Amino acid sequence: MLDRIRDKAFNGKRLEREEGRYLLAEAPLLEVGALANQVRFARYPEKMVTFVIDTNPNYTNVCVTDCQFCAFYRKPGDKEAWTLTVDEVLAKIESAVAKGATTVLLQGGHNPALPLDYYLSLVTETRRRFPRVTPHFFTASEIQTMASVAHLSVEDVLDRLWEAGQRTIPGGGAEVLSTRVRSRIEPKKGGPEAWLSVHRAAHRRGFKSTATMMYGHVEQVDDLLDHFDAIRALQDERGGFTAFVPWSFKPGHTLLEKWIKHYRGPNAYLRMLAVSRLYLDNFPHIQASWFSEGKDAGQVALNFGADDWGGTLFEENVHKAADYVNTISVDEIVTLIREAGFTPAQRTTEYEILQRY
């Protein structure tokens, strides 16, 4: 099986589901990693790893969707609920810009009290005041919330965001794109098509986006394959995904914590990255990170097919709510990438190189 997969991978042939299943469930980890790394270097011969200077603030923690994996949200009216004004969000962006941020990944809960104009103002004001920053705002389910609050179609909302100056959309909220998993852990968020349809419409409008995966809870291997198949097929349509970004579910303070006490460890992460490099043959970038499983596993991951190391995440609140805290500076990112044997390069949201170190 491994020989067949190697043969296909090096001849540009697409892996089938049963091959994906073998890679996820059976293949020796280092065999998968070595293969993924060879594919990565065939595609990007340079020993370079990119990263982005970014921040992940949130505009509200109010949410009506009650996802079982989330420790961040509060119901409307909760005494710990909060929503920032446009000016308060911009102040956060300003402080990240002062530290060199070029990307702001802004997301929040599904807060039905917020009108469309609030979101549009966030985009236009960010564009106006911080022309060097890419507003990488609002995941698929937030865009659906905007549409339903404003009684517009998703396409209309995407048009308005585009007109306001937005060009990229973050890939959060995919979790695992399988009907079984999503109905179990996020029944109010809709099946895989809910996430996929927004990204399909966004790519059609000209947006770029990322595809994420949060694994390590109730999913089985077939659910992961459903996820891979779905995003690979969508990528075939218009090529709108820049990168695939997996991370493990962190159970602290979530409803799922009752059944799942710990996050999956580093080996599962390395395997996920390596398999995605092989299976997602039409994705340009595979993003490993110092954040998800820690800096050690993140450095090792650069030998398992990943070519990008994510962002600085100056502000991060969602994992923090699950008691998972990890921070880094630009200097440390550069040092760690170098130490791992690669040339660090700062990129934009859309993976253009800004500077090599």
Among 297, 313, 333, 345, binds other proteins (CB under 8 A): 297
Q: Identify which range of 145-153, 177-185, 267-275, 307-315 contacts other proteins by CB under 8 A.
A: 267-275
Is 34 or 255 the residue whose CB approaches other proteins more closely? Answer: 34
Pairing mode, strands 134-137 and 103-106: parallel
**218: exposed, middle or buried (C-beta count within 10 Å: 0-12, 13-18, 19+)?**
middle
Of residues 2 through 41, those in contact with other proteins by CB under 8 A are 6, 28-31, 33-34, 37-38, 41
Q: Is 266 in the site for other proteins (CB under 8 A)?
A: yes
- Minimum CB distance to other proteins, residue 257 (Å): 15
Q: Is 126 in the site for other proteins (CB under 8 A)?
A: no
H helix runs in 151-217, sequence order: 154-164, 179-185, 192-205
Phi-psi region at 73: left, alpha or beta (left = phi > 0; alpha = psi -120 to 50): beta
Q: Is 260 in the site for other proteins (CB under 8 A)?
A: no
Among 18, 265, 282, 327, binds other proteins (CB under 8 A): 265
Q: Identify which range of 15-23, 58-66, 320-328, 334-342 contacts other proteins by CB under 8 A.
A: 334-342
- Print the binding letters for residues 72-111 with other proteins: x by CB under 8 A, - otherwise: ----------------------------------------
Is 165 or 294 the residue whose CB approaches other proteins more closely? Answer: 294
Nearest to 302 by CA among 275, 329, 270: 270
Phi-psi region at 305: left, alpha or beta (left = phi > 0; alpha = psi -120 to 50): left
The string of DSSP codes covering 264-315 is: --HHHHHHHHHHHHHH-TT-SEEB--TTTS-HHHHHHHTTTT--EEEE--SS
CA–CA distance, 143 with 159 (Å, rounded to integer): 11
Q: Is 252 in the site for other proteins (CB under 8 A)?
A: no
Q: Is 341 in the site for other proteins (CB under 8 A)?
A: yes
Of residues 166 through 185, those in contact with other proteins by CB under 8 A are none
Tell me which residue has tokens 């995966």: 213
Q: Identify which range of 79-87, 120-128, 178-186, 294-302 contacts other proteins by CB under 8 A.
A: 294-302
Residue type, 32: V
- Order of all β-strands in the sheet with 343-347: 308-311, 48-52, 343-347, 353-356
- Minimum CB distance to other proteins, residue 263 (Å): 10
Q: What distances in angstroms separate CA 312 from CA 245, 291, 305, one per listed residue?
A: 15, 9, 21
Q: Is 340 in the site for other proteins (CB under 8 A)?
A: yes
Among 203, 227, 264, 277, binds other proteins (CB under 8 A): 264
Where do contacts with other proteins occur on this chain (CB under 8 A)? 6, 28-31, 33-34, 37-38, 41, 262, 264-268, 270, 293-294, 296-297, 299-300, 303-304, 335-336, 339-341
